[in-house]
Amino acid sequence: MKYEAVIGLEVHAQLLTDSKIFCSCSTQFGAPPNSHVCPVCLGMPGVLPVLNKQVVNFAMKMALATHCRINPFSVFARKNYFYPDLPKGYQISQYEHPLAEDGWVEIEINGGKKRIGIIRIHMEEDAGKLIHDPYKPVSYVDFNRTGVPLIEIVSKPDIRSPEEAVAYLKKLRSILRYLEICDGNMEEGSFRCDANVSVRPLGSEKFGTRTELKNMNSFKHVQRALAYEIERQISVLEEGDVVVQETRLWDEAKGVTRSMRGKEEAHDYRYFPDPDLVPVEIDSEWIEEIRQTLPELPDEKKERFIKEYQLPPYDAEVLTSSKELAHYFEAVVSACHNPKMASNWVMSELLGRLNQDKRDITECPIAPEALGELIQLITKGTISGKIGKTVFEEMYETGASATEIVKKKGLVQITDEGVLREIAQKIIETHPKEAEQYKAGKEKLLGFFVGQMMKETKGKANPQLANKIFKELLKG
C-alpha cells in the first residue's frame, strides 16, 4: 500500500527584546547562571508580572508577515505543570484567545509553490535551562532563560514530507530574521521546532494516530527525524500493528526516535486565565502602526529581483534567503551595474568561498563595492574572467582592492592585437605538428593554441582576441 505523511509543526521563536516578557531582567544569552533573575521570573509569592510592549509589537509583526488575523482581544493563561525548569509551577502562555490566527506562508517545493496554513501565533514565556549531571542523578537549574519572550507558531497539518517541513521552517526563519525579531539560531535554541507526525493510506481523508517529535536542533535533524519516524510508522502499520500516541525524542547519534515514557499525564495542563495579567486589546490603529514598520519581506524581494534584475527564480530565491545577502547583492549591482554578473559572482565564487570557511555573508572580507569594482574590471576588458578569479582569491585573502592587485601583479589583459599576433606566430613555429594537424581539419586543436598563448602570457591574453588571431593565422 502507498502511504502519505501528515505533518504539523510547532515553532518556538525567541524574540529579540532587551528585557524579559514580564519583568525588566535582561534577555542576554550566555550570562553567568542565575544572574538575570528577579522575584518576578523566579515566581516569588506576591509579585506582579507586567507585559513588555515590544513583545506585542514583535508578535504582531510576525502575525502580519504571515497573513494572520490579529485578534482585537487576547488573554494570557496559565499552563500548569510541574517541572524544575519552571519556578512558578505554570507557564504564562495564551490559550483560548491567542494574539493571532489563521494565516499562511508560501514555500517552494519541486519547482512549484505551496501554501502552508498557520493555525495560530501566541505569546508566552520561555522556561529555564536544565543541565543534567553526567554521573550523579541530579540536574542543575539556571533560570536566566525563564521569562525570555517567545512566540509559538502552530502550523496546520498541511505538510506532506520532510522536505516540505524544512522548506516551511526555513521560510519562517527567514521572515523572522527579515523582521529582526528573532536571530533564528537553532543550535542556541532561539528557534526551536516540535513536530506532530502521522501517516495514512494515500487518498484517505482520515488522520492516522500521531506522535510528537522533540529534540531536533537543526534543519538536518528535522529532516532525518521526520524521515525516520514516517518510515517507522509505516512499518508498524504494515505489520498489522497500531501507532501509539506518544512523545518521541530524536536521537541524532543513533539516528532513531525513542519513546519518552511517563509523560501521559503531562498533557493535562488545566489552563485558566492568568488573574495577574489584564487582557490585551489591539485596535486597527495599532495594527496599522505596526504594518507601516514591516520591511520588504523575502517573497516580495524575490519577485522584485526576478523583475528588476531579470534573475532566474532559483538565483532570486538564494539571494533573498537572508536580508544581509540580498543587501550585499544589491550593493554589488549598484557598484557594477551588471545584475547578471553580480549574481554569478555572488552565487558561485563568493558563496562558495564563504561556505568553504563556514562563514556567513556578514563575515565576508570583501566589501560589495570592492566586488563590484572587480566585476567592472572584467566587463571593461581590463582583465579576463579567468584572471578575475585569481584576483578574487587575493582580495578575499588580503582585503586589497581589485585595481591594486591588478596593478601590482601586472595582470592587465593584453588586448594589443599586434603583440598577441607576434606571440601567436612564435607558438605556431614551435608547434609545426599541431599546426599541420589543425590545417588538416583537426579544429579542436584551437583550444591547444589558445592554451599555449595563455601559458605564454600568464593568462593575460584576451581570449576572444587570441581565438580570432589563431583562426586567421592557421587558415588554409
Partner 1 sequence: MKISRQEVAHVARLARLSFSEDEMELFTNQLNQILLYMEKLNEIDTQNIKPTYHALELTNVLREDKVGPSLPPERVLSNAPAENKDMFVVPRIIR
**Residues of the shown chain interacting with partner 1 in the complex, contacts defined by CB under 8 A:** 17-19, 23-26, 32-39, 42, 50-56, 75, 80, 82-84, 97, 131-133, 136-143, 260, 263, 265-266, 268, 270, 273, 275, 277-281
Of 306, 299, 347, the residue nearest 325 (C-alpha): 347
Which CB atom, from 14 or from 321, has the smaller least distance to partner 1? 14
- Cβ of 238: how many Cβ atoms within 10 Å? 10
Q: Report CA torsion sign: 211, 216, 220, 224.
A: negative
Instruction: Cell numbers for 465, please give them.
Output: 582576441
Which CB atom, from 94 or from 174, has the smaller least distance to partner 1? 94
Amino acid in the structure at residue 86: L
Complete DSSP assignment for 232-289: HHHHHHHTT------EEEEETTTTEEEE--S-GGGG----EE-TTS--EE--HHHHHH
What is the nearest approach in angstroms of partner 1 to the Cβ of residue 25? 5
Complete DSSP assignment for 113-124: EEEEEEEEEEEE
What is the nearest approach in angstroms of partner 1 to the Cβ of residue 354? 33
Which CB atom, from 75 or from 412, has the smaller least distance to partner 1? 75
What is the nearest approach in angstroms of partner 1 to the Cβ of residue 285? 13
Query: Bridge-partner residues for 273, per DSSP?
Result: 77
Which CB atom, from 132 or from 206, has the smaller least distance to partner 1? 132
In the three-class reduction of DSSP (H, G, I as helix; E, B as strand; rest coil), residue 112 is classed as strand
Rounded CA gap, 239 and 217, in Å?
A: 31
Which CB atom, from 270 or from 359, has the smaller least distance to partner 1? 270
What is the nearest approach in angstroms of partner 1 to the Cβ of residue 253? 16
Which CB atom, from 26 or from 382, has the smaller least distance to partner 1? 26
What is the nearest approach in angstroms of partner 1 to the Cβ of residue 75? 5
What is the nearest approach in angstroms of partner 1 to the Cβ of residue 10? 16
Complete DSSP assignment for 428-459: HHH-HHHHHHHHTT-GGGHHHHHHHHHHHTTT
